[in-house]
Amino acid sequence: MTRRQETFLLTEEWMTSPWKSQPKTWRDKLYDLVVVFSEIVASSQGNNRASSPLESIRTEIDKALQVEAELSAWKSSWLNEAYPRHRFRCHCQSPAPFSCLCSLSASKFPTADFALLQVECWSLQLLISTTLSKLSDPRADLPVWIAHLPGRSSQIANNMDEASSFLAFKRTTERSSGVTEGFCRTIFPTWTLREYRGIKGGDK
């Protein structure tokens, strides 16, 4: 083996082995769903809704609901496995295809990591809810849950606002502390909230 081949193999080993040997974190699994969903968002923005065939809109809605179901499963496993000693009660009464929005109140968040991951989870729930609202087409026979979406989106946005007052969360996300992991992790939540509220440009 030449030295060059040896170096190549070593580099390849170095680049792939961490992903092979380390199991995915809860956050990795959540972001796998974010990536799948971002494709739905991209294709739903590219289409002119009025001229889209109903069939393709129905397909997009089904895909979105599939991600929502997977997110629901992710959330239960995360809370049950990572926080087995906490009691999470559901009082949001989300209709059948939707994931539960409930969490601990922000003052009872056990760790900053919990706060970040909870907010990232709400961000994807908000993005799915607002995308489904955009996909709802008056020509289609709409399922009953469509009417529930604006209230759901607003509930999620309120939860996210409340969480941003959590002290440890604030500290990890302050810009003045530089490009920290916490700061980077607020990029997706900040973007989804701004999209939801229709805030364009500016710094706030």
Alpha helices, DSSP H, located in 83-186? 112-135, 149-163, 167-173, 181-185
Give the nearer residue to Zn ion in terms of CB position, either 100 or 140: 100
Residue 100 in contact with Zn ion, rule: CB under 5 A: yes
| 182 alpha carbon, distance to own chain's centre | 16
Write the single-letter amino acid at 16: T
Give the nearer residue to Zn ion in terms of CB position, either 102 or 140: 102
Give the nearer residue to Zn ion in terms of CB position, either 70 or 137: 70
Among 102, 140, 146, 168, binds Zn ion (CB under 5 A): 102
Q: Structure tokens of 83?
A: 């926080």
Distance in Å, CB of 78 to Zn ion, minimum: 14
Buried b (16+ CB within 10 A) or exposed e, 2-12: eeeeeeeeeee
Residue 42 in contact with Zn ion, rule: CB under 5 A: no
Residue 25, φ and ψ in degrees, nearest 5: -80, 170
CA distance 135 to 131: 6
Give the nearer residue to Zn ion in terms of CB position, either 61 or 104: 104
Among 65, 82, 92, 168, binds Zn ion (CB under 5 A): 92
CA distance 35 to 188: 12
Q: Structure tokens of 179?
A: 């490009």
Give the nearer residue to Zn ion in terms of CB position, either 91 or 204: 91
Distance in Å, CB of 13 to Zn ion, minimum: 45
Total of residues contacting Zn ion (CB under 5 A): 4
Residue 90 in contact with Zn ion, rule: CB under 5 A: yes
Query: With CB under 5 A as the contact rule, which of the stretches 14-22, 33-41, 97-105, 121-129 interacts with Zn ion?
Result: 97-105
Query: With CB under 5 A as the contact rule, which of the stretches 24-32, 87-95, 141-149, 181-189 interacts with Zn ion?
Result: 87-95
Residue 65, φ and ψ in degrees, nearest 5: -70, -30
Query: With CB under 5 A as the contact rule, which of the stretches 50-58, 63-71, 92-100, 117-125 interacts with Zn ion?
Result: 92-100
Sign of CA dihedral 154, 158, 160, 161: positive
Residues at the interface with Zn ion (CB under 5 A) = 90, 92, 100, 102
